[in-house]
């Protein structure tokens, strides 16, 4: 089972680039393809792929945020929020969660803490709520109440807007305390890992350096590979042995992020 996640930073723009999003989508040939930062409102693009169903979460604010999932497998149910309207990032289209017979698949676009950590309090609330949401899915509970009697593992992916450890960004000392590498954000990611989720890429590649998924558009950062790894696939501990491959496709352009992929064993 092949899964792909990509922060496209504006899907309409990526559709017009060469190669276009549709070509990249076909090339990657995923069973499930998750997008973040689509920056779309409903009806702004007419995008269909043979054999896939599409599920979109739109932000109330135009041209902002947004997530989507294309899947070859029909889900049992789809959630478009964590059911926490009081969160500062609620209404920004940051979640698409699909329940499949075997597992939950969660696409997330985590709020940025902003310069000088102006949004750090909201970010901390979001991180706590997201962790609780994913742990709830594991035991068969959704924001609307019980979903299935059977507990299911979770695969989550997306732009988590944090470099977890020093190995995950080019210049850790210069960025310590900045948004995306603050003690607060890294601590919340620790809590997510400690709650029973595995960073698939780092688990398979514990010593891999210079492996990044996002680069600033400034100062030829991508050309010089001055980047950050802020896009992740995390899986429930029970799926750890089923992870076959986790890759960062830095050879694919079109956004300031590149796609990441995860391959799991097929169900027996």
Q: Report helix, strand or coil for 100.
A: coil
Give residue 268's pLDDT band: very low, low, confident or very high (50, 70, 90).
very low
**pTM summary value:** 0.96
Query: What backbone phi and psi angles, to 5 degrees, belong to 93?
Result: 65, 40
Per-residue pLDDT averaged across 249-267, rounded?
95
Whether the Cβ atoms of residue 36 and residue 159 lie closer than 8 Å to each other: yes
| Residue 135: pLDDT over 60 | yes
Which residue bears the tokens 């698949």? 105
- Distance, in Å, from the CA atom of 107 to the CA atom of 157, rounded to the nearest integer, reads 5
* pLDDT tens-digit readout, 62-79: 999 999 999 999 999 999
* pLDDT tens-digit readout, 76-133: 999 999 999 999 899 999 999 999 999 999 999 999 999 999 999 999 999 999 999 9
Give the residue numbers marked as catalytic. Answer: 109, 159
* pLDDT tens-digit readout, 190-213: 999 999 999 999 999 999 999 999
């Amino acid at each position: 089972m092949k899964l792909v996640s990509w922060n496209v930073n504006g899907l309409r723009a990526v559709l017009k680039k060469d190669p276009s999003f549709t070509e990249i989508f076909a090339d990657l040939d995923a069973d499930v393809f998750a997008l973040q930062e689509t920056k779309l409102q409903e009806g702004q693009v007419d995008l269909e792929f043979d054999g896939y169903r599409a599920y979109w979460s739109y932000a109330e604010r135009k041209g902002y945020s947004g997530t989507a999932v294309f899947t070859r497998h029909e889900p049992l149910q789809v959630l478009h929020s964590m059911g926490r309207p009081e969160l500062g990032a609620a209404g920004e289209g940051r979640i698409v969660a699909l329940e499949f017979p075997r597992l939950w698949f969660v696409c997330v676009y985590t709020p940025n803490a902003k310069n000088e950590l102006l949004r750090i309090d909201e970010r901390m609330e979001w991180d706590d709520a997201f962790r609780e949401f994913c742990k709830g899915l594991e035991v068969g509970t959704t924001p609307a109440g019980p979903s299935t009697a059977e507990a299911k593992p979770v695969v989550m992916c997306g732009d988590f807007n944090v470099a977890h450890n020093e190995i995950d960004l080019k210049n850790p000392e210069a960025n310590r305390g900045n948004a995306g590498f603050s003690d607060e954000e890294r601590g919340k990611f620790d809590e997510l890992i400690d709650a029973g989720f595995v960073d698939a890429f780092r688990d398979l590649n514990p010593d891999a350096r210079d492996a990044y998924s996002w680069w600033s558009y400034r100062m030829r950062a991508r050309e010089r590979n001055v980047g950050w790894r802020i896009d992740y696939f995390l899986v429930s501990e029970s799926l750890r042995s089923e992870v076959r491959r986790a890759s960062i496709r830095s050879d694919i352009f079109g956004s300031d992020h590149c796609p990441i992929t995860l391959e799991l064993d097929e169900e027996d």
